Amino acid sequence: MAKPQQNCLRAVFRSSATCSSWRLLPIASYRSFSVLNRPPPNYEGHVPLTRVERAGLAFGSALWSFFDPTRADLIAALGEATAQPYFITRLRNAMLVSPTGRRILRDRPRLTSQTLNLDYLRSLPTNTVGRAYITWLDLEGVSPDTRDTVRYIDDPECAYVMQRYRECHDFYHALTGLPIMREGEVALKAFEFANTLLPMTGLSIGAVATLKRPERERFFSVYGPWAIRNGVNSQEVINIYWEEELENDVDALRERLGIEKPPDLRAIRKAEREKKKREKASNGSL
């Protein structure tokens, strides 16, 4: 079939324009296959999907996770189903351009409870990256091991990039200071979309429709513009070697990357809650 080959050659030339590596040759996974004769996996746990399956997974997971956002595995599947062929390759190329990104791709570090010493992180001073990270984890009640493994991305290196992005998500919470509630997650996804261009992050902004009215207004007036502005202007957050930044100050890191600290969402929400309580009390006393 000429068409898919033309498309992937076009992608090769476009992406190789930004980097001079010729490793981006089309691989066997671009050849079409049916569900009855899948090609062998490229890495452990890999499931090569046909185009129809990928579309089905994208639609199914998008719809189901819209109504049930606690299904993190579906959001992960949505990310994998929509990242190919262009977006995850673009992200990997962005890593290849930066020296730190290249080191990450060579070392392929993983963020798990074995590789990170969680107790040591808890002992760090308050405004360090490591301490902020473990605070978010403890608040959410998860360990770094609860992130799903990447399965549906065909190229092993791009699969690692996706896995790295997924594992760094909690670090982005620490970096931006956005809390884990729905409002904070949507704002963080907007920031990630502006920075990484992964389609799943853009689609997740659709969750704005499920926010309450004052939250939605805050998003469109404050956090949305903040996210787009900072996501576009800052350096690629995928290139941060988090394992080396654990003891650094969060504010210093933010300055280095070119990210403004957003208004403290927790404080704003708390102030609003108190205001409502006072209004209710004063109305009740009338």
Question: Does the protein bind other proteins through residue 146 (CB under 8 A)?
Answer: yes
156 contacts other proteins (rule: CB under 8 A)? no
Binding positions for other proteins, 66-125, rule CB under 8 A: 67-71, 73-74, 77, 113-114
Name which of 41 and 225 has its Cβ closer to other proteins: 41
Binding mask 10-49 for other proteins (x = CB under 8 A): ------------------------xxx--------x-x--
- Rounded to 5 degrees, φ, ψ at 69 are -70, -5
3-state secondary structure of 128: strand
- Tell the smallest beta-carbon distance from residue 168 to other proteins (Å): 20
* Binding residue for other proteins, selected from 15, 24, 48, 57, defined by CB under 8 A: 57
Q: Cα 265 to chain center, whole Å?
A: 20
Nearer to other proteins, 61 or 234 (CB): 61
d(Cα 167, Cα 93) in Å, to the nearest integer?
19
* DSSP per position, 17-74: TTS--------GGGS---TTSPPPPSSTT-----HHHHHHHHHHHHHHHHH-TT-HHH
173 in a labelled binding site:
yes
Give phi and psi for 128, each to the nearest 5.
Answer: -85, 160
DSSP 8-state code for residue 220 = I
Instruction: Tell whether 46 is in a known binding site.
Output: no
Residue 63 gets the label, from left (phi > 0), alpha (psi -120 to 50) or beta, of alpha
Of the two residues 150 and 259, which places its CB atom closer to other proteins in the complex? 150
Residues in binding contact with other proteins, number by CB under 8 A: 32
Q: List interacting residues with other proteins (CB under 8 A).
A: 34-36, 45, 47, 50, 52-53, 56-57, 60-61, 64, 67-71, 73-74, 77, 113-114, 140-143, 145-146, 148-149, 151
Residues in binding site for Zn(2+): 169-170, 173, 185
